[in-house]
Amino acid sequence: MSSLDRSGTFVLGDRRVKRLGYGAMQLAEPGVFGPPRDHDAAVAVLREAVASGVNHIDTSDFYGPHITNHLIREALYPYPEDLIIVTKVGARRGADASWNPAFSREELTQAVHDNLRNLGLDVLDVVNLRAMFDAHGPAEGSIEAPLTVLAELQRQGLVRHIGLSNVTPAQIAEGRRICDIVCVQNHYSLAHRADDALIDDLAREGIAYVPYFPLGGFSPLQSSSLSGVAARLGAAPMRVALAWLLRRAPNILLIPGTSSITHLRENLAAAELDLPDDAIKALDGVAASAGSA
């Protein structure tokens, strides 16, 4: 049994994955636009992740664009039988590296086919529809039309399971009336906890919650609080933050990203870190100190 197994597992779609996975976004050039500065290092990180026991990788064809999917295929194809690759559609990149909505039937269909081709797959394990009413966070707006297109592609056998990203509780409820939703991917971290109630609701429904930016959003005060706990435990602060997320709820699946093998190993080591009750209490107060709990 690998040390990663200590993170536990949760059902994603029709398969169990380890709760510590890997997000490929940072493999592209800064700004997620253009090829990596070190191609061989990017390939090595992906291979190290899988060799360490990771069986859940998050990506999108609009990362790069196309860059991370090409790297994943180069590094890992033919894919291990237990590996689940989750991708996203609903956005496109402008020539100026901007992030733009891509919700039309034609754009969504093309995006699914682009992901299939660039990953070398006949069917995508999980496709998240990313809402783009506000690129910086969830905002209300109907997702019925684009999600109906994804559900049609699912019935055609091109997509196994569907998830949602950057969405509100109302949009999740709307989505579940159209098709089964297996995961929700929103911004959440020790310092950014607007989705606390939503996570608990999804846990009761058996739906995975996948935080993006799980290590982002810390103010200097919050970083000081986290660093204090980390110093007491003799662990890196980001490892402590990930360990707290694993403790937060059983349906949380983590996909911290990095382009460094050293940082990858530090992130995955969060599975082995046991947080005592006093550390949990101190960490729970980090978001409260900013009034965001």
- The set of catalytic residues is 63
Indicate left, alpha or beta for 33 from its phi (over 0: left) and psi (-120 to 50: alpha).
beta
Indicate left, alpha or beta for 166 from its phi (over 0: left) and psi (-120 to 50: alpha).
left
Residues paired with 86 in a beta bridge: 58, 126
CA atoms within 13 A on the CB side of 134: 10
How many residues would you count in the chain? Answer: 293
List % helix, strand, coil for the chain (3-state, nearest 5).
45, 20, 40
Lookup: tokens for 211: 């935080």
Q: Is 208:12 a contact under the CB 8 Å cutoff?
A: yes
Tokens 């606390």 sit on residue: 196
d(CA 157, CA 155): 5
Contacts of 276 (CB under 8 A, 6+ apart): none
d(CA 127, CA 204): 22
d(CA 197, CA 202): 9
Indicate left, alpha or beta for 277 from its phi (over 0: left) and psi (-120 to 50: alpha).
alpha
d(CA 85, CA 24): 10
